[in-house]
Amino acid sequence: MTLVLAILAVVWIIGAVMGTPKGPRLVMVAVVMGAVGVIQLALPAGHPLREATGGDIRLWLLLAGFAVLVLAYQQGLRWLRARARPAALMPDTPKPAFEDDELRRYARHMMLRDIGGQGQKRLKNGSVLVVGAGGLGAPVLQYLAAAGVGRIGVVDFDAVDLSNLQRQVIHTENQIGQPKVASAARAMGQINHHVAVEPHEQRLTAENAPALFQRYDLILDGSDNFETRFMVNDAAVAAGRPLISGAIAQWEGQVGLYHPAGGCACYRCVFPETPPPGMVPSCAEAGVAGPLPGVIGSIMALEAVKWFTGAGESLAGRMLVWDGLYTDARVMRLTRRADCPTCGEKG
Ligand SMILES: [Zn+2]
């Protein structure tokens, strides 16, 4: 019996030294024990080999039974420990990307091949800054909040006026006189409480814009005048952020994606000079069809979703011009200008 135990010890130790896992080593032990069992059963009593390997099968069966009991006890303990460990402490269980209600909320996005769960996650991890909570800002803010962009900033210093309600559908009659950013933030919170809304009630200037822009991944400009659009473009280029810029007048609107850091034109490559004041009439002076900002703002929001998810072909380096009066659309290719005062090779 001592001989067999010595053989088993040698088999086990050689296996351990060679780095063999426990499973194959247990198989080796079982093979040796099986051979011993055959010797005990097949050879007559008193045979030298049978005497050398224990002499009695019952002794080995007792020993094997004991070993099986010990192994079973160990396995049982391991199983109980795994069950008793609280789920929160399990280091190999990552926090799910979405809560159950988010999975239901974004289901129509996730079933789109070009968005899917990965794209929805990018939207959730993304941030945008929307300049202006007016006609274009309204659908942009509503759709981006609904689409689940994780963090949405909105900058405006105006208050809601009765004359806004003809097209600025994010505001309501009982918000008249309230700051537009507060009214918009309230509406977005009611659409999607998972979105972090950051209202900035301030006048955007060339001084404060670049630092504010750097806090966001993407800038959407829905401002209503050329001066602001040029300043937003310059600040976006300075901050290295892509800019989706929209503009509307009367029955016509335009939208483009400007991103010199990504190799395409900036707004000033296309419109090098600010028109003199009074040359381009504002909505207040020339009028605007109520649903027009809905069309252009929705395209801006769609381009933002595409930019985050990488779906399709973006408007980078292109400008869409939409004529609402005759229902006609054109897309123009935009080229970057080497002598652009904002993104060109100055001195
Ligand atoms: Zn440029």
Residue 156 Cα to ligand 1 midpoint, Å, equals: 25
Q: Is 199 exposed, middle or buried (0-12, 13-18, 19+ CB in 10 A)?
A: buried
* SS3 state at 330: strand
Residue 323 Cα to ligand 1 midpoint, Å, equals: 26
Residue 344 Cα to ligand 1 midpoint, Å, equals: 6
Residue 20 Cα to ligand 1 midpoint, Å, equals: 66
Task: Give the start-end residues of each E strand in the chain.
Answer: 127-131, 151-155, 196-200, 218-221, 243-249, 252-258, 318-323, 328-333
pLDDT tens per residue, the chain (347 residues)?
776 667 667 667 777 767 676 766 777 777 777 777 777 777 777 777 777 777 777 777 777 777 778 777 788 777 776 666 544 445 566 778 899 999 999 999 999 999 999 999 999 999 999 999 999 999 999 999 999 999 999 999 999 999 999 999 999 999 999 999 999 999 999 999 999 999 999 999 999 999 999 999 999 999 999 999 999 999 999 999 999 999 999 999 999 999 999 999 999 999 988 777 766 777 777 899 999 999 999 999 999 999 999 999 999 999 999 999 999 999 999 999 999 999 997 63
Q: Are 344 and 338 in contact (CB under 8 A)?
A: yes
CB atoms within 10 A of CB 128: 25
Task: Give the start-end residues of each E strand in 65-131.
Answer: 127-131
Q: Return the DSSP state at 192.
A: -
Q: Residue 219's closest CA among 201, 202, 239, 203?
A: 239
Q: How far apart are CA 254 and CA 287, in angstroms?
A: 16
* SS3 state at 163: helix
CB atoms within 10 A of CB 109: 18
Beta pairing class for 218-221 and 252-258? unpaired
Q: Are 179 and 201 in contact (CB under 8 A)?
A: yes
pLDDT at 46: 77
Residue 346 Cα to ligand 1 midpoint, Å, equals: 11
Residue 320 Cα to ligand 1 midpoint, Å, equals: 18
pLDDT at 281: 73
Residue 258 Cα to ligand 1 midpoint, Å, equals: 9
Structural element, H or E, at residue 18: none
pLDDT at 83: 64
Q: How far apart are CA 63 and CA 8, in angstroms?
A: 13
Structural element, H or E, at residue 232: helix 226-239
Going by C-beta distance under 8 Å and a sequence separation of 6 or more, which residues neighbour residue 250? 286, 287, 288, 289, 325
pLDDT at 88: 47
Q: Residue 119's closest CA among 129, 106, 100?
A: 106
Residue 272 Cα to ligand 1 midpoint, Å, equals: 8
Residue 254 Cα to ligand 1 midpoint, Å, equals: 18
Q: Which two tokens stand for residue 20?
A: 């063999």
Domains of the chain: 2-89 (no CATH), 126-333 (3.40.50.720)
Name the β-bridge partners of 245. 221, 256
pLDDT at 282: 75
Name the β-bridge partners of 258. 243
Name the β-bridge partners of 304. none
Residue 110 Cα to ligand 1 midpoint, Å, equals: 36
Angstrom CA distances, 266 to 127, 140, 238, stand at 21, 21, 11
Question: What's the angle, vertex CA 167, arms to CA 162 and CA 171, rounded to 5?
Answer: 60
